[in-house]
Structure 1
Amino acid sequence: MLNRLQRLLGLQTIPGVFFTSAGIAVLFVALAIPFDEAVAGFFGGLTAWVARNLGWFYIVTVSFLLVFLLGLAFSRFGSIRLGADDSRPDYSNLTWFTMLFAAGIGTILMFWGVAEPVSHFANPPFSDVLPGSARAARDAMTISLYHFGLHTWTIFAMPGLAIAYFAYRHHLPMRISSLFYPVLGDRINGPLGWAVDVIAVLGTLFGVATSLGLGTLQLNSGLNYLLGVPVSGSVQVMLIAVIASIAAVSVALGLDKGVRRLSQLNIILAGVLVAFVALVGPTVFIAEGMVQGIGDYLDALPWLAFWTQTFSETNWQRKWTLFYWAWTISWAPYVGIFIARISRGRTIREFIAGVLFAPTVFTLVWFGVFGLSAIHIEMNGQVALAAQVEQNPAVAIFAFLQALPFAQFSSSLSLIIIVIFFTTSSDSASLVIDMLTRRDDQPSLVRQRIFWAAAQGVVAASLLLAGGLDALQNVITALGLPFCILLIFMAVSLFRALRADSRGYSVDELVQGRAYDTVSSTKDVKQEHHDVS
């Protein structure tokens, strides 16, 4: 029946993945709009249960994956190239960085770059820290860097590395199900593999929709702050429609003509904004704070990585850390596939170093410039940023820029950057979802990519109408759990394949043997006998 429907619509897909994912998305929208309070209540309760019972699982999983990736980079596997042994990268380092950053957390930094440090400064998560104190300022910067530094990029790097390895080294389809080939074998092309890809599609769809929702809230707040445009659901839906239309045009142009050019433009504009704030803001304070902030972050990272707020009865970690991890995990399939798509030819060591550390350095600079400047303004009483952030975090960056010279210029530039950032997120996500829902031998149809771009906008609008920021946080915290579990299996599968690869076995031999230890030990014995001889 699904094959007949596909032929009728003129699509090129894996029907079990495409129609299941689209059907669930349509069902969610159909329920969320008329029953918004019931849907918000359901996901609110589900999120509370996940945070109360499985918050520790999110924390330990992400920290374990960071250690695992660093171990791979420094191991003998680090020299394995993602592709043929003589292959070289398709893109220069600078182009590669701009593309992965713009498709990663550019939108998030624009939203939280001012809001999060100021929020932690005014309301410290630790009971023994006085709000507005020097210790509160240090902790605010440290926690912000923890949320957007190595751990965030670990979540993106893990699926990205695994996908690139299996796609370019073993010529498997660039889908999440391919990562389980060493375990499932050819069953990745049946219902089990389809189920994995459906989870990846839905995680991507809702994760990017959350980003679009946050970006829309910020755009609406910025337009209200600067031009008096009313803050309302109808305005937000209109903004989503405009952005989805721009993303549809970009996704129709493809990766090189659309996504790459927008990414390069936006990283330049973001660099201009950072340089502007650094020059007109408290420059010396920023420089000193960034140096100290790096030390504080590295010093606190070991215990923050395993901090679960065990001895506190507040729900701070649910609202912040668990939301971030679940949100990032939910759209890790999309960012992972996108990063894999642009990373052919790099070694595993180059990939891990680039994906983990290059964006983290930019994040350190971003929070150093915006976060420290905002804290400096709050400490000196220039603008009551904390009160505005508490009331509406989406307006934070615009309220902050009003305290600096040339506020109209910088605020307008910020609006442009926000639009392009979440346009690149939407169009690159549409490209990835299309890859997840079709076979490699099927053409990528423009109408399919446009459908997924529109679907992101519709889901984002539904989430906003169902409860705004709280609904966005609750839905994504609950839906991130299935893919969090997949990340662990992903790491195990990659490690098994790398061990087989280093011993001269193909991934097919690993599948056929199944009992990997028996196969490898036999070969090791033969190798040892040869060495003795």
Structure 2
Amino acid sequence: MKHDDAPILKPGQDNTRVLGMDFHHPVFPLSALAILAFILYALIYPDIANDHLSAARGFSIEHFDWLFMIAGNLFVLLCLALIAMPLGRIRLGGYRARPEYSTTSWFTMLFAAGMGIGLMFWSVAEPVAYYTDWYGTPLNVEAHTPAGASAAIGATMFHWGLHPWAIYGVVGLALAFFAYNRGLPLTLRSAFTPLLGERTRGWIGHTIDILAVLATIFGLATSLGFGASQAAGGLAYLFDIPNTLGTQIAIIVLVTSVALFSVWRGIDGGVKLFSKINMMLALGLLTFIVTTGGVLLFVNNLWHTTLAYASHIVPLSNWVGRDDTTWYHGWTVFYWAWWISWSPFVGMFIARVSYGRTVREFLIAVLLVPTLVTLVWMSAFGGTALSQSAAGVGALADGIGDVSLAMFQMLEHLPLTTLTSSLAILLVLIFFITSSDSGSLVIDKITAGGKIDAPKGQRVFWATLVGVIAGVLLYGGGSTALGALQAGAVATGLPFTLVLLVMAFSLVKGLREEQRGLAIPKLA
């Protein structure tokens, strides 16, 4: 492609107007047909669907563990290198571009969309599970020992620290760069333009975008369905509200309804507002845990968590000659496949709100700051939970029975249990709202051909569809159908790993062209 050529793709190119909505052809119809076919399959044959897709997930994890691990390590190294290199000075949108959102608003939105909801459950459940040998122990360290506690908190940080955020960072940076510096549509296919050229307009580009839509909507619907079950379990544990299908459906309806309101108001009046509320509530709960557990204990936990993460990150990143295969496949490789399957959704949302940031500023905020916040969060919640488990206090002394109750079982042995547990449930629900909202915005962008100003009705359509899918599968097939959906989402992690590796190469190529002044002119 020559320097004076116009961009191959333009936002909204090849779109079709249908009932007042602006859909990209053929991404939208094929995505819709695939979604409909899968729902019918999971409803009519839930057990068969679960078996088949679980087998596909197991095949990916067992035979391509090396690929997931190598890719995750490469993404971390690439992000750190870009922070340090002169390429980090490149500004998304050009040297005159200025950020659309304040630093605080920007960070709260990317963190809420990235993994806020997962930290609510797994910051307590995961370290206790490793410490008590619930499903194997990291690196085969002996359970119920000081070394086991160190490995438990170190492995938990490994799963929620640099590696997942590096995956999101590479995708988000690539999408933002090619959209804002090259004038290309905000879709995954755009990131491959330096390598594929005109072919991004063809079936290769269509396939990439369709896979992104399916991975995003399946991941969101799975999280909403399982999340409703977990929230209902918390309500039953605290307030004796029956954990029935009706309660779970009611939670899905509530979350979807508020998400529709948020989607209609857009990023400023929706996602940004709820993300700020979430971060304030999360900060309040964190402060409570630190003060009631003891500031000195928290500082001690923070120190030990930092040391545990630093000392375990290299051996846990290794994929050769591992003796803890059951744990390694069941946790680490599963996590890497899950983060990669979620990367189109989270990466694109981060890209959407990151206009005007430099590459260095972007990666520091997407990689290093969330890792530090997670370190503090894990030290408070995971450290407190491990202390209770080691001391034989409460239900956590015996390990993890129900993951959805682990947080509440920890809070039960701290003051103001009802208040803090109610706050935790509220946080979970709002995190679901921000995930549904931001996910709907992302799906809308892809199926609208990368247009940022697509009609509001389209965002409402996708937000509604996510809730409907979760509710229908929960009602018609229960946890088996949702399990099939989750297995399908994780199975997409394998092809997306290859997509992301090529995307990383394309990103570096594009940034180097930008640095040398060879970039294609930005679309006017």
SS at match of 1:417: helix
Shift of 1:56: 1.5
Q: Letter of the 2:247 partner, please give it.
A: V
Equivalent residues in 2 for 1:345-360 (5 A)? 345-360=356-371
Give the counterpart of 2:511 among 487, 498, 520: 498
Q: Letter of the 2:236 partner, please give it.
A: N
Q: Check whether the contact 2:117–2:432 (CA below 8 A) recurs between aligned residues.
A: yes
Equivalent residues in 2 for 1:101-112 (5 A)? 101-112=111-122
Query: For the residues of structure 1 that align with 2:208 and 2:56, how far apart are their CA atoms?
Result: 22
Query: For the residues of structure 2 that align with 1:18 and 1:76, how far apart are their CA atoms?
Result: 39
Give the counterpart of 1:264 among 255, 261, 276: 276
SS at match of 2:429: helix
Query: For the residues of structure 1 that align with 2:15 and 2:24, how far apart are their CA atoms?
Result: 12
Q: Check whether the contact 1:251–1:427 (CA below 8 A) recurs between aligned residues.
A: yes
Q: Check whether the contact 1:207–1:328 (CA below 8 A) recurs between aligned residues.
A: no
Sort the Cα spacing of 1:234 and 1:317 in 2 relative to 1 into closer, same or farther, 3 A.
farther
Long gaps (5+) in structure 1: 510-533
TM-score (norm 2): 0.91
Q: Does 1:337 align with 2:359?
A: no
Shift of 1:4: 13
Query: For the residues of structure 2 that align with 1:309 and 1:289, how far apart are their CA atoms?
Result: 31
Residue in 2 that maps onto 1:531: none
Residue in 2 that maps onto 1:311: 323
Q: Check whether the contact 2:187–2:449 (CA below 8 A) recurs between aligned residues.
A: no
Give the counterpart of 2:492 among 479, 486, 489: 479
Give the counterpart of 1:82 among 80, 92, 96: 92
Aligned residue pair count: 505
Query: For the residues of structure 2 that align with 1:127 and 1:193, how far apart are their CA atoms?
Result: 41
Query: For the residues of structure 2 that align with 1:438 and 1:473, how far apart are their CA atoms?
Result: 25
Give the counterpart of 1:190 among 187, 198, 202: 202
Q: Check whether the contact 2:306–2:375 (CA below 8 A) recurs between aligned residues.
A: yes
Give the counterpart of 1:32 among 39, 42, 49: 42
Q: Does 1:449 align with 2:459?
A: yes
Q: Check whether the contact 1:83–1:168 (CA below 8 A) recurs between aligned residues.
A: yes
TM-score (norm 1): 0.90
After superposition, the C-alpha distances for 1:294-351 in whole angstroms (9 at most, x for unaligned) are 1221222122222466334x52223211221111111111111111111111111111
SS at match of 1:12: strand
Q: Does 1:161 align with 2:173?
A: yes
Give the counterpart of 1:141 among 130, 143, 153: 153
Sort the Cα spacing of 1:91 and 1:127 in 2 relative to 1 into closer, same or farther, 3 A.
closer
> More displaced, 439-448 or 422-431?
439-448
Equivalent residues in 2 for 1:313-392 (5 A)? 314-385=325-396, 387=398, 389=400, 391-392=401-402
SS at match of 1:140: helix
Query: For the residues of structure 2 that align with 1:213 and 1:118, how far apart are their CA atoms?
Result: 24
Query: For the residues of structure 2 that align with 1:406 and 1:298, how far apart are their CA atoms?
Result: 35
Sort the Cα spacing of 1:4 and 1:58 in 2 relative to 1 into closer, same or farther, 3 A.
closer
Shift of 1:440: 4.8
Residue in 2 that maps onto 1:280: 292
> More displaced, 74-83 or 211-220?
211-220
Q: Which has the larger radius of gyration?
A: 1
RMSD over aligned Cα atoms: 2.2
Sort the Cα spacing of 1:144 and 1:469 in 2 relative to 1 into closer, same or farther, 3 A.
farther
Shift of 1:5: 12
Q: Letter of the 2:488 partner, please give it.
A: V
Q: Check whether the contact 2:187–2:450 (CA below 8 A) recurs between aligned residues.
A: no
Shift of 1:269: 0.3
Query: For the residues of structure 2 that align with 1:353 and 1:297, how far apart are their CA atoms?
Result: 19
Sort the Cα spacing of 1:310 and 1:139 in 2 relative to 1 into closer, same or farther, 3 A.
closer
Q: Does 1:433 align with 2:443?
A: yes
Q: Does 1:152 align with 2:167?
A: no
Shift of 1:48: 1.7
Query: For the residues of structure 2 that align with 1:228 and 1:198, how far apart are their CA atoms?
Result: 43
Query: For the residues of structure 1 that align with 2:482 and 2:17, how far apart are their CA atoms?
Result: 40
Shift of 1:398: 1.0
